[in-house]
Amino acid sequence: MSSTERNLVAVTACVSGVAHTYMAAERLEKICQQENWSIQIETQGALGIDNPLTDQRIRHAEVVLLITDIELNGAERFGQSRCVTSRTTLFLSDPTKVVNAVRKLLYAPEKTRVIVS
The answer as to CATH 3.40.50.2300 being correct for domain 6-115 is yes
pLDDT, one tens digit per residue, over 64-113 is: 999 999 988 888 999 889 999 999 999 999 999 999 999 989 887 777 88
pLDDT, one tens digit per residue, over 19-65 is: 999 999 999 999 999 999 999 999 998 888 999 999 999 999 999 99
Active site residue 83: no
Distance CA 102, CA 74 (A): 22
What ranges do the domains of the chain cover?
Answer: 6-115
Give 61-97 as a 3 state SS string: CCEEEEEECCCCCCHHHHCCCCEEEECHHHHHHCHHH
Distance CA 117, CA 106 (A): 19
Amino acid letter at 42?
Answer: E
Given 8, 14, 64, 66, the catalytic residue: 14
Give the DSSP H or E segment for 107: helix 95-107
